[in-house]
């Protein structure tokens, strides 16, 4: 699920869905809701315009409005069908793997957990945590962080230190999981870094 084509399809579907619901949605809000950088949001919007999926028009308030074209509606339907076809297996695997990791963490006394990465995997983790004696205290997502930022009713921060005492970090980054893992490994160490196998991350060798 972390392959580039699937990530691109997910972001494109998110953009088309958001524009379809609100033509006056801002790029900043899109970036926050999708959990990606503002510059990346702008690039995806421009790509959708070039492909004829979205039409852009200026408004009197010196802003832009976005409208789905007939081609955009068709593409949104195609992407939605493709997503639904694979989402059941993804959800089941993610739920089972994250549940096992959280149960293991709780058994080791690691109950204050931070999610590293925003998006659908983080949402599954928040729901899975309800079944285990752990607390998701926040989400580490630099691109979505800001004053008062929240995702899935949890505070969002750009720095792990902002959450105070953290027992474990659960990797939920779908776009660049290996890069996030390598960075977090230096901060929390392998024992407190929980990684769902579905991310296909190359784990550090265990110490002797």
Q: Are 193 and 185 in contact (CB under 8 A)?
A: yes
- Note whether 94 and 75 are same-domain residues: no
**Domain encompassing residue 21:** 4-82
Asked whether the predicted pLDDT for residue 61 surpasses 90, the reply is: no
37 within a domain of the structure (yes/no): yes
pLDDT band at 120 (very low <50, low <70, confident <90, very high): confident
- The share of the chain scoring above pLDDT 70, in percent, equals 92
Report the domain count for the chain: 2
Give pLDDT, residue 85. Answer: 67
Asked whether the predicted pLDDT for residue 147 surpasses 90, the reply is: no
Give pLDDT, residue 62. Answer: 61
- Note whether 21 and 121 are same-domain residues: no
State the chain's maximal CA–CA distance in angstroms. 66
The Cα 133–Cα 143 span in angstroms is: 29
pLDDT band at 187 (very low <50, low <70, confident <90, very high): very high
- Note whether 35 and 106 are same-domain residues: no
Asked whether the predicted pLDDT for residue 4 surpasses 70, the reply is: no
Q: Are 162 and 104 in contact (CB under 8 A)?
A: no
* Mean residue pLDDT across the chain: 87
- Note whether 193 and 139 are same-domain residues: yes
The tens digit of pLDDT for each residue in 17-33 reads: 888 888 888 888 888 88
Lowest mean pLDDT among 15-29, 91-105, 165-179, 182-196: 15-29
For helices 38-50 and 4-21, what crossing angle results, to 10°? 80
Q: How many residues does the chain have?
A: 208
Determine how β-strand 150-151 pairs with β-strand 154-157: antiparallel
Asked whether the predicted pLDDT for residue 149 surpasses 50, the reply is: yes
Which one, of 162, 34, 12, 144, lies nearest residue 82 by Cα? 12
Which one, of 166, 179, 162, 161, lies nearest residue 117 by Cα? 179
- Note whether 104 and 156 are same-domain residues: yes
Which one, of 126, 127, 131, lies nearest residue 113 by Cα? 126
Give pLDDT, residue 73. Answer: 87
C-alpha distance from residue 51 to each of 12, 36, 45, 47, 176 (Å): 12, 21, 10, 6, 26
**Domain end position, chosen among 38, 56, 82:** 82
The Cα 16–Cα 41 span in angstroms is: 12
* Mean pLDDT score, 199-207: 76
Which neighbouring-strand residues pair with 156? 139
For residue 167, the SS3 value is coil
Q: What is the pTM of this model?
A: 0.61
Query: What CATH number is attached to the domain comprising 9?
Result: 1.10.10.10
Q: Which tokens belong to 130?
A: 């309800």
Asked whether the predicted pLDDT for residue 159 surpasses 60, the reply is: yes
The tens digit of pLDDT for each residue in 67-95 reads: 999 999 888 888 877 776 677 788 889 99
The Cα 143–Cα 34 span in angstroms is: 10
The Cα 96–Cα 88 span in angstroms is: 12
- Note whether 105 and 130 are same-domain residues: yes
Q: Which residue's entry shows tokens 């027992």?
A: 167
């Amino acid at each position: 699920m972390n392959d580039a084509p699937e990530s691109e399809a997910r972001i494109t579907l998110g953009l088309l869905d958001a524009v379809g619901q609100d033509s006056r949605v801002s790029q900043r809000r899109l970036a926050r809701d999708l959990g990606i950088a503002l510059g990346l949001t702008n690039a995806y919007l421009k790509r959708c315009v070039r492909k004829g999926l979205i039409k852009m028009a200026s408004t009197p308030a010196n802003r832009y409005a976005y409208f789905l074209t007939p081609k955009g509606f068709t593409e949104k339907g195609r992407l939605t069908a493709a997503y639904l076809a694979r989402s059941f297996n993804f959800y089941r695997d993610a739920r089972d793997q994250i549940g096992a990791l959280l149960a293991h963490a709780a058994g080791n006394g690691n109950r204050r957990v931070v999610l590293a990465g925003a998006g659908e995997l983080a949402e599954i983790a928040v729901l899975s945590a309800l079944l285990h004696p752990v607390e998701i205290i926040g989400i580490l997502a630099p691109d979505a962080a800001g004053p008062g930022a929240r995702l899935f009713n949890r505070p969002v921060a750009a720095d792990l230190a902002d959450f105070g005492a953290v027992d474990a970090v659960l990797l939920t980054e779908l776009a660049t999981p290996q890069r996030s893992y390598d960075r977090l490994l230096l901060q929390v160490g392998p024992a407190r870094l929980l990684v769902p196998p579905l991310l296909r991350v190359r784990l550090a060798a265990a110490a002797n």
